[in-house]
């Protein structure tokens, strides 16, 4: 009995020692570890160069670290203030913090007007994090300000854009001497199919945007107008002429007339293996860039918001969408055969209305944030490439992507089994790939993390601006015909507030605009 009491006393003392050590050494759960302000990182264009990277919503990142310089995976709350002066007094802005699933945070802010003498204060528990307060030289212009600062080449270098891109290089190979004096009339005639094709002929001259559109459905020209005007507010666009396809399907087929006349230089939002179209970022990701913290509810920053922890997610694949392709109906059929592996339903019927009784009933739309309650996200083409892929890659689940001959501007840099799990175009091995992901949980999470890193290196708002700027710079080099505003073109005006800004450096004087 006495030995037993002695043993119990020994165990209690030992436990007290361990608990005491853990308390001071911060062992165990990351929530017990204190944030070290000196080791924690704050970086990104919103604090490093907000005066040069004039974005609709500027953004930066915070990564909390402890005294041992180890990353803390638990969300933290920060006290962030922007202090500066505007023509209305103190700098006015909206700001929000997006907590990501890995413990880091995105902070974004949108200015109500231009501000000067700006400092950005980033604190945790009243202590400034490394680099804070960030003193910003010069003026932070509102994105609506017409204050072009130098040439496109100067802007690309100033904000640190890549020097090149493999998709741009590939797209421009067929177009080394573009003569619109001989091409323009033929291109307009070739695509004069008002009921099925809509396109616009643009001319950018002395940083002004002009266009004439053809076809019945030209409403999507607003997306092209908006990005061109936004770029022109930041730097002087090269003089150029271009044709922009406003539809989903790429237009310039390989073979046929292209063999003898050469392909026509047409810009599209989606490319394919059997076409020559020059691919731009989709209108969807471009609008989410331009309307960040504006009217869009989903963008490449907000989609990274922390959701369910991996362990709490449903261990099955998920898909929702409309009936834009036969494989989407087959996906629903697979879901019914393997409900323990896949949850797939259609939200609308348009192309296959006569099959709704078999593949319905349709289900309600849900927020994409709710998609990530499932560990595995299925990406299947729609009429062309599914424009949701960037958002899926940015989320907290791993993506299974259908093999496809359609592509967006960034696909060439994606690597199967590094950034996503591939499956056959006919879905024949989709179930097998879902089972692989379930059996290889650690590898699946690694692929998810690689995809997140890819997004943050290639598809955030500044990256979308960089791609457009680089593409237009390279494309303009190959135009050999005179750049002239064509008969029937209308000028697309900058918003009126663009000219009520205290520009310190403007490429063109106001009376020349």
Neighbours of 381 (CB within 10 A): 20
Which helix (H) or strand (E) covers residue 74, if one does?
Answer: none
Same domain, 322 and 454: yes
214 C-beta neighbours (distance < 10 Å), count = 18
For the chain, the straight-line distance linking the first and the last C-alpha, in angstroms and rounded, comes to 98
Strand 374-379 relative to strand 398-402: parallel, antiparallel, unpaired? parallel
The three-point CA angle 60-63-66 to 5° equals: 155
* Vertex 111: Cα angle to 206 and 138 (nearest 5): 65
- 309 and 440 part of one domain: yes
Quote the distance between the C-alpha of residue 361 and its chain's center: 32
- Shared-domain flag, residues 344 and 432: yes
Residues 326 and 449 in one domain: yes
Residue of higher predicted confidence among 182 and 509: 182
Q: Provide the pairing of β-strand 490-492 with 314-322.
A: unpaired
Q: Quick one: pLDDT band at residue 28, thresholds 50, 70, 90?
A: very low
Residue 8 binned pLDDT confidence (cut-offs 50, 70, 90): low
Q: What is the DSSP string of 300-358?
A: TTGGG---S-GGGSEEEEEEEEE--SHHHHHHHHHHHH-TTTEEEEEEE-STTGGGHHH
Is 57 among the domain residues? yes
Max CA pair span of the chain: 106
pLDDT of residue 199: 97
Per cent of the chain over pLDDT 90 is 86
- Reply yes or no on whether the pLDDT at 138 is more than 90: no
The span from the CA of 210 to the CA of 246, in Å, is 16
Query: 315 and 193 in one domain?
Result: no
Mean pLDDT over each residue of the chain, to the nearest integer: 92
| 391 falls within a domain | yes
CA-to-CA distance for 320 and 332, rounded, in angstroms?
9
Q: Which of 110, 142, 174 is the last residue of a domain?
A: 142
Q: Are residues 171 and 137 in the same domain?
A: no
Rounded Cα distance between 283 and 167, Å, is 17
- Asked whether the beta carbons of 79 and 44 are under 8 A apart, the reply is no
Q: 104 or 497, which is more confident?
A: 104
436 is a domain residue = yes
Residue carrying structure tokens 């695509």: 191
Number of domains in the chain: 3
Please tell me the predicted confidence (pLDDT) of residue 11.
Answer: 43
3-state secondary structure of 445: helix
Q: Do 453 and 306 lie in a common domain? A: yes
| pLDDT tens by residue, 158-189 | 999 999 999 999 999 999 999 999 999 999 99
Contact, 14 vs 6, CB < 8 A? no
Tokens representing 79?
């006290």
- In a domain, residue 7? The reply is no
- Rounded to whole angstroms, the Cα distance separating 149 from 507 reads 6
Domain that holds residue 192: 166-290
Q: What is the CATH number of the domain that holds 333?
A: 3.40.50.2000
Composition of the chain by helix, strand, coil, percent to 5: 35, 25, 40
At 19 the pLDDT is 42
pLDDT given for residue 257 in this prediction: 61
Instruction: Tell me which of 80, 107, 142 is where a domain ends.
Output: 142
Residue 459: Cβ-neighbour burial (10 angstroms; 0-12, 13-18, 19+): buried
Instruction: Please say if the pLDDT value at position 486 is more than 60.
Output: yes
Contacts of 354 (CB under 8 A, 6+ apart): none
Residues 301, 461 contacting (CB under 8 angstroms): yes
Express each pLDDT in 385-394 by its tens digit: 999 999 999 9
pLDDT score for 18: 42
pLDDT in tens, 388-438: 999 999 999 999 999 999 999 999 999 999 999 999 999 999 999 999 999
The CATH number assigned to the domain holding 40 equals 2.60.40.10
Q: Residue 30 pLDDT more than 50?
A: no
Q: pLDDT-based confidence at 13, cuts 50/70/90?
A: very low
Q: Are residues 205 and 319 in the same domain?
A: no
Give the residue ranges of DSSP H helices in 235-383.
258-261, 283-290, 326-337, 356-359, 368-371
Same domain, 272 and 315: no
CA distance 132 to 128: 5
In a domain, 327, yes or no: yes
- Cβ 251 vs Cβ 268: under 8 Å: yes
Question: Measuring CA to CA, which residue among 249, 248, 255, 267 is closest to residue 187?
Answer: 267
Residue 4 has pLDDT above 90, yes or no: no
pLDDT at site 24: 39
**pLDDT (tens digit, 9 = 90+) per residue, 243-286?**
999 999 999 999 866 555 689 999 999 999 999 999 999 999 99
Report yes or no on 469 lying in a domain: no
297 or 116, higher pLDDT: 116
Examine the pLDDT at 336 and tell me if it is beyond 80.
yes
- Give a yes or no: residue 378 inside a domain: yes
Work out the pLDDT band at 297, boundaries 50, 70, 90: confident
For 496, the enclosing helix (H) or strand (E) is none
The tens digit of pLDDT for each residue in 347-380 reads 999 999 999 999 999 999 999 999 999 999 999 9
The secondary element (H helix, E strand) that includes residue 443 is helix 441-458
| Residue at token pair 């791609």 | 467
pLDDT tens digits, one per residue of 230-240: 999 999 999 99
Structure letter (DSSP) for residue 310: G
**283 and 307 within one domain:** no
pTM of the model: 0.91
Residue 251, C-beta contacts closer than 8 angstroms, at least 6 positions apart: 191, 197, 199, 245, 264, 266, 268, 275, 277
Distance, in Å, from the CA atom of 238 to the CA atom of 232, rounded to the nearest integer, reads 10
Say if residue 507's pLDDT is above 80.
no
Residue 24 within a domain: no
Q: How far apart are CA 504 and CA 225, in angstroms?
A: 26
Question: What does the pLDDT look like over 58-67, one tens digit per residue?
Answer: 999 999 999 9
- Co-location of 286 and 371 in the same domain: no
Percent pLDDT > 70 in the chain is 91
Would you say how long the chain is, in residues? 513
Which of 434, 459, 484 is the C-terminal boundary of a domain? 459
Report how far residue 52's alpha carbon sits from residue 136's, in angstroms, rounded to the nearest whole number. Answer: 10
Verify that 221 and 323 share a domain, yes or no.
no
């Amino acid at each position: 009995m006495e030995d037993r009491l002695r043993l119990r006393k020994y165990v209690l003392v030992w436990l007290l020692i361990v608990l005491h050590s853990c308390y001071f050494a911060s062992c165990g759960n990351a929530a017990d570890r204190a944030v070290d302000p000196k080791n924690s990182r704050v970086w990104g264009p919103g604090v490093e160069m907000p005066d040069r990277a004039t974005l609709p919503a500027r953004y930066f990142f915070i990564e909390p670290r402890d005294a041992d310089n180890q990353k803390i995976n638990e969300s933290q709350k920060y006290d962030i203030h922007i202090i500066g002066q505007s023509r209305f007094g103190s700098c006015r802005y909206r700001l929000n913090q997006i907590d990501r699933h890995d413990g880091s945070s995105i902070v974004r802010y949108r200015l109500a007007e231009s501000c000067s003498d700006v400092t950005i204060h980033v604190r945790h528990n009243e202590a400034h994090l490394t680099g804070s307060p960030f003193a910003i030289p010069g003026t932070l212009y509102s994105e609506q300000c017409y204050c072009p600062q130098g040439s496109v080449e100067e802007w690309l270098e100033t904000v640190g854009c890549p020097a090149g891109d493999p998709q741009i290089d590939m797209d421009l190979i067929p177009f080394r001497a573009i003569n619109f004096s001989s091409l323009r009339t033929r291109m307009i005639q070739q695509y004069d199919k008002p009921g099925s094709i809509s396109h616009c002929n643009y001319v950018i001259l002395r940083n002004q945007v002009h266009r004439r559109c053809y076809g019945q459905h030209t409403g999507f020209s607003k997306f092209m107008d908006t990005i061109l005007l936004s770029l022109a507010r930041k730097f002087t666009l090269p003089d150029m002429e271009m044709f922009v396809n406003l539809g989903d399907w790429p237009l310039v087929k390989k073979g046929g007339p292209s063999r003898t006349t050469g392909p026509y230089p047409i810009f599209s939002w989606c490319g394919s293996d059997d076409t020559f179209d020059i691919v731009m970022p989709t209108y969807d990701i471009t609008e989410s860039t331009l309307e960040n913290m504006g009217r869009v509810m989903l963008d490449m920053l907000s989609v990274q918001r922390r959701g369910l922890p991996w362990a709490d997610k449903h261990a099955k694949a998920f898909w929702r969408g409309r009936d834009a392709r036969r494989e989407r109906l087959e996906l629903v059929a697979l879901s019914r055969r393997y409900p323990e592996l896949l949850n797939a339903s259609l939200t609308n019927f348009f192309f296959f209305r006569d099959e709704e009784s078999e593949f319905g009933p349709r289900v309600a739309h849900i927020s994409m944030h709710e998609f990530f309650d499932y560990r595995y996200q299925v990406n299947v083409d729609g009429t062309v490439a599914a424009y949701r892929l960037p958002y899926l890659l940015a989320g907290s689940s791993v993506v299974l992507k259908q093999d496809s001959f359609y592509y967006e501007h960034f696909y060439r840099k994606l690597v199967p089994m590094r950034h996503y799990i591939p499956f056959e175009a006919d879905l024949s091995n989709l179930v097998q790939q879902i089972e692989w992901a379930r059996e290889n949980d650690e590898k699946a999470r690694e692929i998810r993390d690689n995809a997140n890193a890819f997004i943050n290196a290639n598809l955030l708002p500044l990256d979308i601006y960089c791609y457009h700027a680089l593409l237009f710079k390279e494309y303009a080099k190959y135009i050999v015909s005179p750049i002239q505003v064509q008969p029937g073109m209308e000028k697309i005006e900058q918003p009126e507030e663009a000219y009520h800004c205290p520009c310190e450096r403007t490429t063109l004087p106001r009376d020349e605009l």
